[in-house]
Chains A and B, each alone.
Chain A
Amino acid sequence: MTEELVIETKGLKKTFVSKIKGKKKEVEAVKGVDLAVKKGEIFGFLGPNGAGKSTTQKMLSTLLPPTGGEAKVAGFDLQKEQSQIRKNIGYVSQAGGTDSGATGYENLILQAQLYGIDDKTAKKQAEELVKRFQMDSFADRPASTYSGGQKRRLDVALGMTHRPQLLLLDEPTTGLDPQSRVYMWEEIKKLKADGVSIFLTTHYMEEADNLCDTIAIIDDGTIIVKGTPMELKNSIGADIIVFGFSDENIARKSEQLLEKFHPEKITLEKTFVRLHIKDGDRAMPEVLRLLDANNLKAQNITLSRPSLDDVFLKYTGRSLREDNK
């Protein structure tokens, strides 16, 4: 099985050396990271601030030379073929990169020219991007007048100017209002639909859960776990379906019946039955059918599923949310 990979790293490492009061101090920002990002997927790099997400991304974007390990980005060797990589990837940093003294159009045209595109084509492409990212209403104004969401749209458009096959997004929705965030998610999904592979960093669980096909959780410079959002959530245990019945008798009968599903655990508490079961969302219809067929009617049902936050908590012993405060 050989799936095409757009990013492949082995033991990618970055150690910063800083001198404090004449003493050399080494800080291992990234301690040997192995990544495999498949072509066409949205890969999420999830972790708290300072975990090494941005440093890893800067290395992959050729901004920062790694101190160890190997990497292939867009099929090119990170150590030897940096200029090839630059032509084939788009990178949108956390700060964005919009030139606030210039208009949206001017930003886009210059960006295209920097990729060696001639003036006429650059202009045409800028117009296409303005349409594509719905910036018509503001693209001829200076970027200094943009809202956070508008600026972010331009940032991403700048990253897509030369139509790269791989887009690196560093915290694409940090600091955006909820509406702009949802808009940005839609844009990222559209890019994926257009065949662009996306490698994004985030410290938002909802974002990783909502957007990403694969997630790697990084903490303190090390990847602690990888998988699809579903796999990660399943790895920490079952979903819980809670049934509320009208009386204890029905509850008890239901409990006995539900044993059929070989749940991880089932508990009865007065009129409530708690069913601990993997893939609870898939099991639910069948469970309901079985209860119905036996004339055991539940009054209310809730499905609670482990969140990525629980995943983070399990693997790091800390809550990601607390960390970001």
Chain B
Amino acid sequence: MKLLRGIQLMFIRNMRQTLRSPIFVFVSLFQPLLYLFLFMPLLNGLGGVPGLPAGKTVQIFIPGLLVMMALFGSAFVGFNLIDDIRSGVIERFLVTPVNRSAILLGRVLRDAVVLLTQCVLITLVAIPLGLSVNVGGFLLSLVLYAMVSITMASMSYSFALIYRIEDPLAPTLNTITLPLSLLSGIMLPLALAPLWLQDLAKANPFSYAVNASRALFAGSFHSVDIIKGFVIVFLLMSVVFWWSLNSLRKLEE
């Protein structure tokens, strides 16, 4: 069985499941919309502080919000994998000749597609609020969000494969996701933070994703932040995906 064919089959299977209950795709849009309408106005009042030029808060906030959506939106996909483990579906796939990595790749690609749809919708909503979009930069940033999404989804799947029950999954994922988002300068620019906090944020790979996302929205393609963001997220994604694959191999142990 060819890898690509396996990925295609698994992607279609998972996408079909998502499309059968499309309501969840929209329900998960609710939170970013709340941030957009109930939190962003607060920032408008702050315009002018370091890292947040006056009148340009939407330009700073939206690229960060999109990374946050990729972080949180894909972090909890492990729950539907637990269903599949319990019902024996994963075991059944593992006994067929399908490539092991296709089983997970088909899933994380579905997760990335769902996330990108949401990112496009939120961006469209933000344009009337004053967001200016550099199309080339936006398209590139979608690649970045997809990688963040795949990283988080793979992590979520790894924990699902290790725990195989729901109870510990949500606290674990929350414990990891919250500091990742706080330490990435999504809500407020890290320029406001004390030095030690800024240093801590440097250890958070997703803070580079946020910087890259902002640079892309601004259309500053020469910014070194973009390269840094892509390289760091790509490396992290590769490691975490490899971990999830390894967790799948150990599923039966």
Binding site for B on A (CB under 8 A): 16, 58, 61-64, 83, 86-87, 89, 91, 93-102, 106, 110-111, 113-116, 158
Q: Would A95 and B91 count as touching, CB distance under 8 A?
A: yes
Closest to B103 in A: A114
1-42 of chain B: CB within 8 A of chain A: 1, 5-6, 9, 13, 16-17, 20
CB distance from A295 to the nearest CB of B (A): 64
B176 at the interface (CB under 8 A from A): no
Q: Would A98 and B89 count as touching, CB distance under 8 A?
A: yes
CB distance from A166 to the nearest CB of B (A): 12
Query: Besides A94-B88, A96-B88, A99-B89, 6 other CB < 8 A contacts?
Result: A87-B97, A97-B88, A98-B88, A114-B6, A115-B1, A115-B97
Q: Would B95 and A61 count as touching, CB distance under 8 A?
A: yes
Q: Would A16 and B253 count as touching, CB distance under 8 A?
A: yes
CB distance from A209 to the nearest CB of B (A): 27
Q: Would A63 and B97 count as touching, CB distance under 8 A?
A: no
Q: Would A106 and B16 count as touching, CB distance under 8 A?
A: yes
Q: Would B87 and A100 count as touching, CB distance under 8 A?
A: yes
CA distance A250 to B23 in the complex (A): 83
CB distance from B248 to the nearest CB of A (A): 11
Q: Would B91 and A99 count as touching, CB distance under 8 A?
A: no
Given contacts A16-B253, A58-B252, A114-B6, contact A63 B92 (CB under 8 A): no
CB distance from B160 to the nearest CB of A (A): 16
A-B pairs with beta carbons under 8 Å apart, 27 shown: A58-B252, A63-B95, A63-B252, A64-B252, A64-B253, A83-B97, A86-B95, A86-B96, A86-B97, A91-B92, A95-B86, A97-B89, A97-B92, A99-B87, A99-B89, A100-B87, A101-B20, A102-B13, A106-B16, A110-B13, A113-B5, A113-B9, A114-B9, A114-B93, A114-B98, A116-B97, A158-B92
Q: Would A96 and B87 count as touching, CB distance under 8 A?
A: yes
Q: Would A115 and B95 count as touching, CB distance under 8 A?
A: no
78-110 of chain B: CB within 8 A of chain A: 84, 86-89, 91-98
CB distance from A62 to the nearest CB of B (A): 7
Residues of B with C-beta under 8 A to A96: 87-88
Closest to A17 in B: B253
Closest to B86 in A: A95
Q: Would B97 and A93 count as touching, CB distance under 8 A?
A: no
Q: Would B87 and A63 count as touching, CB distance under 8 A?
A: no
| Residue from the set B89, B96, B253 with the largest chain A CB neighbour count within 10 Å | B96
52-81 of chain B: CB within 8 A of chain A: none
Closest to B97 in A: A86
Given contacts A83-B97, A110-B9, contact A93 B92 (CB under 8 A): yes
Closest to B8 in A: A113
CA distance A257 to B20 in the complex (A): 77
Residues of A with C-beta under 8 A to B20: 101
Q: Would A93 and B88 count as touching, CB distance under 8 A?
A: yes
CB distance from B144 to the nearest CB of A (A): 31
CA distance A102 to B20 in the complex (A): 9
CB distance from A207 to the nearest CB of B (A): 20
Q: Would B91 and A116 count as touching, CB distance under 8 A?
A: no
Q: Would A114 and B96 count as touching, CB distance under 8 A?
A: yes
Q: Would A98 and B87 count as touching, CB distance under 8 A?
A: yes
| Residue from the set B13, B89, B252 with the largest chain A CB neighbour count within 10 Å | B89
Residues of A with C-beta under 8 A to B84: 99
CB distance from A154 to the nearest CB of B (A): 11
Given contacts A96-B87, A97-B88, A97-B92, contact A102 B16 (CB under 8 A): yes
Residues of B with C-beta under 8 A to A158: 92
CA distance A101 to B91 in the complex (A): 16
